[in-house]
Amino acid sequence: MNLDALIRFYHDLTIERVADFPEFYAEDAWFKDPFNEVRGVAAIQRIFTHMFRQVAEPRFIVTERVVDAGSAMLVWEFHFRIRLWGRGSAEIMRGVSHLRFDAAGKVNYHRDYWDTGEELYMKLPALGTLMRGLKRALAA
């Protein structure tokens, strides 16, 4: 596993570089996030291609890593602008990726953990108002 190269790949990810996922991911890699669960590097590439179509200026920054033999946890920030809102305000979503690597050092398991309510829904105009109201009502 070359974790530094994988982190650089994510830091420098562009729509053109989505084609480079096979350099880092096993052919039958499994990927799950709050919206997707797929198997296969081609399906993972479709998710990231879709991301570039949905948001402007997407950029990942890995802020921490925890590594052991055969796996890693990456704490990250995802910076973006939502295209639906025109230029939109700069947004940051925070999360963690749990990665496992095969014998060849390629990612064969990628599970993303992030709070859709706090990190996404609360930032949407109408839904955000409702979510913030619920949060105030339920807070101790």
The pLDDT value given to residue 56: 87
Read off the pLDDT of residues 71-123 as tens digits, 9 standing for 90 and up: 999 999 999 887 665 566 788 889 999 999 999 999 999 999 987 665 565 55
Residue spans of the domains in the chain: they are 3-114
Query: What is the structure's pLDDT at 123?
Result: 59
pTM of the model: 0.81
Architecture of domain 3-114: Roll (3.10)
Hey, what long-range contacts does 64-73 have (CB within 8 A, 24 or more apart)? 65/3, 65/7, 67/3, 70/1, 70/100, 70/101, 71/98, 71/99, 71/100, 71/101, 71/109, 72/1, 72/3, 72/98, 72/99, 72/101, 73/97, 73/98, 73/99
